[in-house]
Amino acid sequence: MRRALVIGNWKMNGSQASNAVFLGELLGRLKASPATDVVLCPPLIYLESFAKRLSGTTVLLGSQNLCAESSDIGAFTGEVSGRMLAECCVRYVLVGHSERRQLYGESDSVVAEKFINAQNVGLIPVLCVGETLEEREAGRTLERIVNQLEFIVKAAGIDAFANAVVAYEPVWAIGTGRTASPEQAQMVHAYIREWFSGLDKAISVNLSLLYGGSVKASNANGLFVMDDIDGALVGGASLDAGEFLKIIGAVK
């Protein structure tokens, strides 16, 4: 079943003190909805304390990253394996985020390894795809998205998408305050769903497609009324509990 999903990607933000305040407010005010999943992806160091605090609540835990190596134990200084994340009650993991691709040189093959490793330990990968401003201006948006998707489908197989989420995040809209218009986002989402439909109709119909890139309370309604937008991957606005709650409340 295609589910609505709002994921908060905290990036490298938070502190012991501010996390406690945020979680107190979020959990105190969140009205659980059986139709919408809410996921928080704090920095790795905070996962364990979030797992304890979120236990018994409806809010799920996600990780911003996992190790690309298939071994779940070994000599990989600074890395954290999917198994370790799963052991810490993590359910979702971001893969292919444009900041990882651009700042840490993660290629499509690294993204594919992470996607596959995540699923091997029962985590749900949230595959991020999106075009740069230059690609958009050159009329290559859809081609870029399909290239990114195709690579993962070839590596992991189409059936893998029965247990995955796709997030369309135009690189030019991330952290810039410049959101894609609901129509621009819907156009790409519809194209992605159509593309999956050509490979497997059931997977396409059930696939949750999130939009990400400067989503805030003030633009969430307009995005969420679109037919193929099933939720959002929220960066900056997920750091403020009140703002995040409004975005969650805007899900149709």
In the residue annotation, 183 being an active-site residue is answered as: no
Structure tokens that stand for 1 in this block: 């079943």
In the residue annotation, 97 being an active-site residue is answered as: yes
Q: Verify binding: residue 234, ligand PGA, rule CB under 6 A.
A: yes
Report helix, strand or coil for 30: coil
Which residue in 97, 106, 189, 243 is the catalytic one? 97
Report helix, strand or coil for 142: helix
Output 82 or 213, the one with its CB closest to ligand PGA. 213
Site for ligand PGA in 167-186 (CB under 6 A): 169, 174-175
Structure tokens that stand for 122 in this block: 């029962």
Closest residue to ligand PGA, judged by C-beta, is 235
Q: Verify binding: residue 157, ligand PGA, rule CB under 6 A.
A: no
Q: Verify binding: residue 212, ligand PGA, rule CB under 6 A.
A: yes
d(C-alpha 73, C-alpha 39), whole Å: 26
Q: Which of 138, 251, 158 is nearest to 201 (CA)?
A: 158
Output 153 or 217, the one with its CB closest to ligand PGA. 217
Question: What is the nearest approach in angstroms of ligand PGA to the Cβ of residue 212?
Answer: 4
Q: Verify binding: residue 215, ligand PGA, rule CB under 6 A.
A: yes
Q: Which of 51, 39, 43 is nearest to 12 (CA)?
A: 43
Query: 214 with 177: CB under 8 angstroms?
Result: yes
Contact residues for ligand PGA, defined by CB under 6 A: 9, 169, 174-175, 212-215, 233-237
